Structure 1
Amino acid sequence: MSTAGQVIRCKAAVAWEAGKPLSIEEVEVAPPQKHEVRIKILFTALCHTDVYYWECKGYTPLFPRILGHEASGIVESVGEGVNDLKPGDHVLPIFTGECKECRHCLSEESNNMCELLRINCDRGVMLADGKTRFSINGKPIYHFVGTSTFSQYTVVHVGQVAKISPTAPLDKVCPISCGICTGFGATVNVAKPKKGQTVAVFGLGAVGLAAAEGARVCGASRIIAVDVNPRRFEEAKRFGITEFVNPKDYDKPVQEVIVEMTGGGVDRSVECTGSVQAMISAFECVHDGWGVCVLVGVPKKDDAFKTHPMNLLSERTLKGAFYGNYKPRTDIPMVVDKYLNKVR
């Protein structure tokens, strides 16, 4: 029996207050409006960004709210004006979007800074009418980054939905919607290490491991991991890590340790922790003349990056990467296809 055009009642994990345990509630999910898609979420993961906004330390509080943004599912119904998706399509909801019409989407120099749909953590309503699609007994429940995947059903703007191959295992490709692309793309699309070069990866969470895999695929000769948890090193070897540095083992800045290890610094570094001190270390450990540092981790709201200007004047390059420099609707289906075809 079709549920298109009807309110769906389902379970969702609702954050009622900052830092308080999520509560499994029955929520009402309204039908999709113009340019919207209602998705049945089959798999969802927990990203540290969800935790940041659940804790709400230094951020604008917006509760009650349904968090979650790393997920996979199947289209249940579509709203007016949605022509490239249909019920039954396998999809990944993405926390940032691609309208395909703005200056950023049309630019060859900007991949995912869409003027309409770029990530907005403070907006808890849909663009079409400024209202939520979630409610409990008539009380609005706010959205999170346009996805809110901690719900059995969610409503997402079509520009934030990547249609993928129906043969893709949704449990396996779920992390592609956030962490995997964020780390892997930061290395292969932004840092772009050449074969035989050295790469340092700061942080061995999911994003850092994906960044390390990117370095391995690019043919890096040495991939140095920096993390304060030594238990992560053994598993990280599967992703190409060749050496491990724990900053706690030294009485000097870790960037100095890496410079000494590599005879002047690494060729590329990718920072995946969000720690400002790690960002500084990642930048200052790259070789002068050609070294490139890519920042990926999200810092705290009031953090400030500081380094001596000579580190830049010595022809080191500092870059930032957002979602691995991938266009959500255009590129992500191809990333999934590469996974399916084992293309490296």
Structure 2
Amino acid sequence: MDNHTSFNPRETAGKIITCNAAVVRGPKQPFVLERIQVDPPKKMEVRIKILYTSICHTDLSCWKGENEAQRAFPRILGHEAVGVVESVGEGVTDVKEGDHVIPIFNGECGDCIYCQKGTTNLCGKFRVNPLKSVMANDGKCRFSSKDGEPIYHFLNTSTFTEYSVLDSACVVKIDPKSPLKKMSLLSCGVSTGVGAAWKAADVQAGSSVAVFGLGTLGLAAAEGARARGASKIIGVDINPDKFDKGRTIGITDFVNPKDSSKPVHEGNEWWRRRLQLRMRRKLGILREAFLSTHDGWGKTVLVGIYPSPKLLPIHPMELFDGRTITGTIFGDVKGKTQLPDLARDCLQGVVNLDGFITHELPFHKINEAFGLLTDGKALRCLLHL
């Protein structure tokens, strides 16, 4: 357990907390470390002290203004972290002061028709919503500047701050003996990738899998496929520098589309006839991914954010060959009920988290951390608060 949880909730419970946060006031503007005020949690809310947070490509795309999520300013981004409960609001019973927790952007209330159904991890009230910028309880912010200016929330979480307030549906309790740095990966990237392989694609032993894009999500999908016993895992990326990292994850073969003038699915008969699963992130190669799967049963799983308004480049008749295509949010993992099992699998070595955190920096160097991700030099840069 990381010795990084020293604070006294008895001095802060029920009171406004003044702390540091990285606030962004517009697309592509630098993050500014500001002193903000964080209100106490209201009914069915939890206030947590963030211990570690990292940067995901979703944070990066929103910061760039690539989608509609960045309409509300000023804002506290961040959604991948680990922390400790400082205090809870009325009605919260599943976590308490001092519990170690993971914030999740795709919440689970446990009561709605979606949560009660075993075939989806969406929630009627707390599913991921990039446009949501206030709390569900009263439609207001829990963050404000020293002058009282509201500061908006992001993806149900807002982790680029020393303290954050979340709906209790978006907080998952973890084993206090867990390595907290690694557990932060389960807030988004690793859970999404592994879940895409295990749940959305249901990879079986002996399957053949290809992963398009060897970032954190892609490598996590490859790790999930390896853990399931896939016999062949092909990594596809235009950056050959990522291949060494892929080998450590268990990827067996690599393809750089730049090395051939032919489309990937036409370059090799094996691709056209034998591939069973394809995971990719960028819309421009979606068709290649789809056509590379085996006719009759091949499955394409989409993960990540797609800011492009373009429609899927697939002819309807191509769906009659038995190939399927689906998207997944959070790897189809139900956050509160299933994420603890994934955390246990990680602790037991079923899923290997080593290597995903490539850099560590103090919180005040958040702009430098964003630069590392922008330049493709980092998988996950962990920020210490």
TM-score for the superposition, normalised by structure 2: 0.86
Counterparts of residues 89-168 of structure 1 (less than 5 Å): 89-110=99-120, 112-136=121-145, 137-168=147-178
Residue 194 of structure 1 deviates from its aligned partner by 2.3
Q: Which residues of structure 2 form unaligned runs of 5+?
A: 1-7, 352-385
Residue 113 of structure 1 deviates from its aligned partner by 1.1
- Matches of 1:58 and 1:219 in 2, distance apart? 37
| 292, 297, 305: which one aligns with 2:304 | 297
Q: Which residues of structure 1 form unaligned runs of 5+?
A: none
- Matches of 2:20 and 2:321 in 1, distance apart? 55
Match of residue 201 from structure 1: 211
- Matches of 1:284 and 1:209 in 2, distance apart? 22
Does residue 189 of the first structure (1) align with residue 199 of the second (2)? yes
Match of residue 78 from structure 1: 88
- AA partner of residue 294 (structure 1): V
More off after superposition, 277-286 vs 25-34: 277-286
- Matches of 2:66 and 2:208 in 1, distance apart? 36
Residue 88 of structure 1 deviates from its aligned partner by 0.3
Paired residues of 1:212 and 1:239 also in contact (CA < 8 A): yes
Residue 59 of structure 1 deviates from its aligned partner by 1.6
Match of residue 184 from structure 2: 174
| 16, 20, 30: which one aligns with 1:21 | 30
Match of residue 64 from structure 1: 74
Paired residues of 2:106 and 2:126 also in contact (CA < 8 A): yes
Match of residue 328 from structure 1: 335
Match of residue 221 from structure 1: 231
- Render the CA deviation track for 1:150-194: whole Å, top value 9, x for unaligned: 000000000000101000111111011100010111011121222
Q: Tell me how many residue pairs correspond in the alignment.
A: 340
| 253, 266, 274: which one aligns with 2:275 | 266
What is the percent sequence identity of the aligned residues?
48
Residue 18 of structure 1 deviates from its aligned partner by 1.2
Residue 263 of structure 1 deviates from its aligned partner by 5.7
Residue 301 of structure 1 deviates from its aligned partner by 4.2
Match of residue 381 from structure 2: none
- Matches of 1:289 and 1:143 in 2, distance apart? 44
- Render the CA deviation track for 1:252-278: whole Å, top value 9, x for unaligned: 212222x5244614011112x2x1122
Match of residue 371 from structure 2: none
- Matches of 1:293 and 1:58 in 2, distance apart? 24
- AA partner of residue 336 (structure 2): R
Residue 108 of structure 1 deviates from its aligned partner by 1.7
Q: Name the SS for the 2:68 alignment partner.
A: coil
- Matches of 2:63 and 2:52 in 1, distance apart? 20
Residue 197 of structure 1 deviates from its aligned partner by 2.0
Match of residue 361 from structure 2: none
Residue 311 of structure 1 deviates from its aligned partner by 2.3
Paired residues of 1:276 and 1:304 also in contact (CA < 8 A): no
| 314, 334, 340: which one aligns with 1:307 | 314
TM-score for the superposition, normalised by structure 1: 0.96
> Which segments of structure 1 move beyond 6 Å, counting only runs of 4 or more?
none
- Render the CA deviation track for 1:304-344: whole Å, top value 9, x for unaligned: 21112232101111122111111110011111111112236
| 247, 254, 262: which one aligns with 1:244 | 254
Paired residues of 1:70 and 1:93 also in contact (CA < 8 A): yes
